[in-house]
Chain A
Amino acid sequence: MAKDGLTEFRLVGTRPDRPDGLDKVTGRARYGADISAPGMLWAAVVRSPHAHARIVKIDTSKAEALDGVKAVITRADFPEGLTGEAWNLQENTMAGDRALYDGHAVAAVAATSAFVAQDAARLIEVEYEVLPHVIDVDDAIKPDAPVIREGAADATVPEGMPPNVVRYMEFGHGDVEAGFGAADLVMEKTYKTEATHQGYIEPHACMGQMGEDGRGEMWVCTQGHWFIRKMCTDVLGLDPAQLRVTPSEIGGGFGGKTTIFMEPLSLALSKKAGGRPVKVVMTRSEVLRATGPTASASMDVKIGMTKDGQITAGRAEFRMQGGAFPGAPVDFALMCGFAAYKMPAVEHIGYDVLANRPRAAAYRAPGSPMGAFAVESLVDEMCRELGLDPLEVRLKNAVHEGDKASYGPKFGSIGLEEVLQATKAHPNLLAELGPNQGRGMASGYWFNHSGDTSVSLAISEDGTAQVSVGTPDIGGSRASIALMTAETLGIDYEDVRVNVVETGALGVNEPTHGSRATFASGKAAVMAAEQAIGEMCRRAAAKWGIDPEAVEWVDGAAQPAGPNAGKFPPMTIAEIAAKMSSTGGPIAGHHESVPEGVGASFGTHVVDVEVDPETGRTTILRYLVVQDAGRAIHPAYVEGQYQGGAVQGIGWALNEAYIYGEDGRLQNTVFLDYRIPVASDLPMIDTVIVEVPNPGHPYGVRGVGETGITPPLPAIANAIHDAVGVRLRSLPMSPPAVLAALKAKE
């Protein structure tokens, strides 16, 4: 458990105020749309109203003639000849010969005001030839489905597959048929999940400036500005070193801001408008129609279990669509699906399928929630069938360090057993349930991720430190990195300033994704601090005239390491820093690597619900999140990740969904009908932070952001079944769906 200051650490595990708190409670913090610049223009984007259509003609003449319009662009203004992912990005930024989904950009305009830009956009005339479209993944995978794109399949797809299958995979181990043969109960069911959106409250926004010379700047809300730089310059055929990208504060991302959508438009418009900066701010409808939601899934799962709850074999065949481009996370869905179980034999089959929907982006543990919905629902169904306690069955089959993972390799240090035991001990499991109330549980998994990381640290003249990181602070990572840096240096938390810096200031960084900021930037910051400590020890050694190896760093000061090193009073960081100019110059540290030693995180959730049998409405009565953090650097923000992830999962389970009409157009393009949970929908979210330290991180961090979205989908389905005896195998479990299931049972 997180001990809140009772750990062996001075600062790690405490809950200080976050360094950017003051800016964020006073309105001073500057987000994507909060910037402006002299001569700035405003952009508006023309988007396809059709799910699939050939673009016959675009007439921009009326828009160009409007007073105040400075640039109009279409695909004709982009370079030709791109291939692979660069082409995918360009095609998604601006449609070529065909619009591939409702909301696909087809033209953009920059003008002297937002209203002029919008007026001009309405004057752009686009002639479409509407083509047949396909939305649902089970329709899209049919051999005779409308073909989204010829030749989009990669080398993994065998000959003879349906035309919209663009990636195919099989993996597993053991003799699955023998495993099913050894089981007392074999069940196979089909589950479906609908696409949901990350739903960050800040719409995408940027201001880009690009001169005729190919040099430019961008201000943008993003999880990763090096990704933005590479993707924008790929799409526009520019030199990445000539584009400097500065991240704004970011108003939520959850994976959705790890790629580009309209950012290249600002640069292309700016270039055409003589280098004037161009601001692009999406409306909420544009966010829902044209940025990346997650994939939708159709999943067959088969499990064999003995009478006493031993899993003997599993098989999963998942079909997922991630929009009109490859990239649905069917691989991760399969890899996470059975991850919580020792699988003597398991087989996974996956299809990545194209459909006429916006291109899916990452969304918090991409794929894992779908896989868990299918597998954790079926495990629960089988426990009920066999009269077994679902928690005991999960303990019985739980994976431990050294076990072969369902997806292949052996697990390193993991804390699933500890998580399940902490769950079992929690008082929520003793709460009494009334009529129409039920309890459900499920586990979830995420690998966590490292990635390119570059951090620099500088000691100031007064012995304080500044740390430059390249991972935008999306939920308190400045605080966690400052805590670890201060702990390492032996100085006060308040004496470390963590800055999220622009692309010109550091080597390449991957985005804040994969739950990596506190793991990877944190680890790199610690290593940079250790480098600076080494230099400070050398300076002390030089002053004392002893071997640097004979100096150690204790409590923020250099001191002789043991009595043989000599007798000198400790030299504090402030004393060393005050003299640094005359002892060899600035003291700094830096670290660049793909930090190894990522630690995976398991979590288990338990939810109590009440179902209104007359309306089908599900109310969350109680909610418990138990998850392995490795080590909670700032426990309050770890709890926040658990709570936020759980509530996103609750939304996905109950009411969120992409709803399409027969015409293939998205029907719920505003928050009124894209129903994310509101404050009155929820109880407090109870949390237990389990700490099984990750040996691959200096303070034991695993990364906590993603696992939490995974268990709610099946846990709620299991609880609804417990409450009213109906099994929902399709999301969302909205009141009409639950009521229909209740009526069907009668």
Chain B
Amino acid sequence: MSGAVSVHLWSSLTRFTDGARVVAVEAGTVGQVLEALSGAYPGLEPILEAGVSVVIDDELVTDHHSAVPEGAEVYLMQRIKGG
């Protein structure tokens, strides 16, 4: 199942998305969101490959198989890790 998802990028990524801060992709899972982004904007691929944190609404999601509800707000953030 996939639906329209709006993905919020951090602003320095906009040079890879023709200036768009929020991009709409068709995806049903976190992995599909990332794949759709890389497909639409190849410049993002190395950054997504290097690792980003994905937040769906207010929940940090690490499992790329996790479902993304239709209409969800997805945030990409610098990858969070520990110290």
Please tell me whether chains A and B touch each other in their complex, using a CB distance cut-off of 8 A. yes
- Which A residues contact B (CB, under 8 angstroms)? 154-156, 158, 168-172, 254-255, 258, 331-332, 335, 362-366, 402, 407-412, 447, 449-451, 510-511, 513-516, 594, 596-598, 706
Beyond A170-B11, A171-B11, A254-B83, whether A155 also contacts B46 by CB under 8 A is yes
Chain A residue with minimal CB distance to B13? A156
Q: Which of A408, A514, A598 contacts B77 (CB 8 A)?
A: A408
* B18 close to chain A: CB less than 8 A: no
Chain B residue with minimal CB distance to A198? B83
Is the CB–CB distance between A598 and B60 below 8 Å? yes
Report the Cα distance A514→B58, complex, angstroms: 19
Report the Cα distance A366→B73, complex, angstroms: 27
- Chain B residues with CB below 8 A from A409, complex form: 55, 57-58, 73, 75, 77
- Chain A residues with CB below 8 A from B81, complex form: 362, 449, 451, 513-514
Q: How far is the CB of A200 from chain B (nearest CB, A)?
A: 13
Interface of A is mostly: loop
- Chain B residues with CB below 8 A from A450, complex form: 60, 62
Q: A410-B58, A516-B82 are in contact. List 9 more A-B contacts (CB 8 A).
A: A170-B12, A331-B78, A362-B83, A365-B83, A409-B73, A412-B59, A447-B80, A449-B80, A515-B82
- Chain A residues with CB below 8 A from B58, complex form: 402, 409-412
In this complex, the interface size class of chain B, counting residues with CB under 8 Å from chain A, is 20 to 34
Report the Cα distance A449→B77, complex, angstroms: 14
- Chain A residues with CB below 8 A from B11, complex form: 170-172
Q: Which of A410, A597, A706 contacts B83 (CB 8 A)?
A: A706
Is the CB–CB distance between A332 and B82 below 8 Å? no
Is the CB–CB distance between A408 and B8 below 8 Å? yes
Q: How far is the CB of A475 from chain B (nearest CB, A)?
A: 14
| Interface residue ranges of B14-37 to A (CB < 8 Å) | 15
Beyond A155-B43, A409-B58, A412-B58, whether A332 also contacts B80 by CB under 8 A is yes
Chain B residue with minimal CB distance to A510? B82
Is the CB–CB distance between B82 and A511 below 8 Å? yes
Is the CB–CB distance between A171 and B82 below 8 Å? no
Is the CB–CB distance between B10 and A363 below 8 Å? no
Is the CB–CB distance between B43 and A171 below 8 Å? no
Pairs A–B under 8 Å by Cβ, sample size 24: A154-B50, A155-B46, A155-B47, A156-B12, A169-B12, A170-B11, A171-B10, A171-B11, A172-B11, A258-B82, A365-B83, A408-B8, A408-B55, A409-B57, A411-B58, A449-B82, A451-B82, A514-B80, A514-B83, A515-B82, A596-B59, A596-B60, A598-B60, A706-B83
- Chain B residues with CB below 8 A from A254, complex form: 83
Is the CB–CB distance between A408 and B12 below 8 Å? no
Report the Cα distance A461→B62, complex, angstroms: 37
Report the Cα distance A646→B70, complex, angstroms: 44
- Chain A residues with CB below 8 A from B4, complex form: none
Chain A residue with minimal CB distance to B44? A155
Is the CB–CB distance between A594 and B62 below 8 Å? yes
Q: How far is the CB of A701 from chain B (nearest CB, A)?
A: 15
* B67 close to chain A: CB less than 8 A: no
Q: How far is the CB of A8 from chain B (nearest CB, A)?
A: 26
Return the 4 tightest CB-CB contacts between A and B, nearest first.
A514-B82, A513-B82, A171-B10, A331-B78
Q: How far is the CB of B71 from chain A (nearest CB, A)?
A: 15
Q: How far is the CB of A314 from chain B (nearest CB, A)?
A: 15
- Chain A residues with CB below 8 A from B10, complex form: 169-171, 408
Report the Cα distance A598→B46, complex, angstroms: 27
Q: How far is the CB of A518 from chain B (nearest CB, A)?
A: 13
Chain B residue with minimal CB distance to A223? B82
Report the Cα distance A670→B47, complex, angstroms: 39
Q: How far is the CB of B58 from chain A (nearest CB, A)?
A: 4
- Chain A residues with CB below 8 A from B47, complex form: 154-156
Query: Which of A156, A362, A364, A412 has the most chain B CB within a 10 Å cutoff?
Result: A156
- Chain A residues with CB below 8 A from B55, complex form: 408-409
Q: Which of B12, B57, B62, B63 contacts A410 (CB 8 A)?
A: B57
Chain A residue with minimal CB distance to B60? A598
- Chain B residues with CB below 8 A from A516, complex form: 82
- Chain B residues with CB below 8 A from A402, complex form: 58
Q: How far is the CB of A193 from chain B (nearest CB, A)?
A: 15
Q: How far is the CB of B43 from chain A (nearest CB, A)?
A: 7
- Chain B residues with CB below 8 A from A255, complex form: 82-83
- Chain B residues with CB below 8 A from A362, complex form: 81-83
Q: How far is the CB of B33 from chain A (nearest CB, A)?
A: 14
- Chain B residues with CB below 8 A from A331, complex form: 78
- Chain B residues with CB below 8 A from A154, complex form: 46-47, 50
Report the Cα distance A411→B57, complex, angstroms: 9
- Chain B residues with CB below 8 A from A510, complex form: 82
Query: Which of B11, B63, B83 has the most chain A CB within a 10 Å cutoff?
Result: B83
Is the CB–CB distance between B77 and A335 below 8 Å? yes
Query: Which of A258, A409, A598 has the most chain B CB within a 10 Å cutoff?
Result: A409
Report the Cα distance A472→B46, complex, angstroms: 33
Report the Cα distance A745→B13, complex, angstroms: 45
- Chain B residues with CB below 8 A from A171, complex form: 10-12, 77
Chain A residue with minimal CB distance to B66? A596
Q: How far is the CB of B62 from chain A (nearest CB, A)?
A: 4
Report the Cα distance A156→B79, complex, angstroms: 14
Report the Cα distance A364→B15, complex, angstroms: 33
Is the CB–CB distance between A169 and B78 below 8 Å? yes
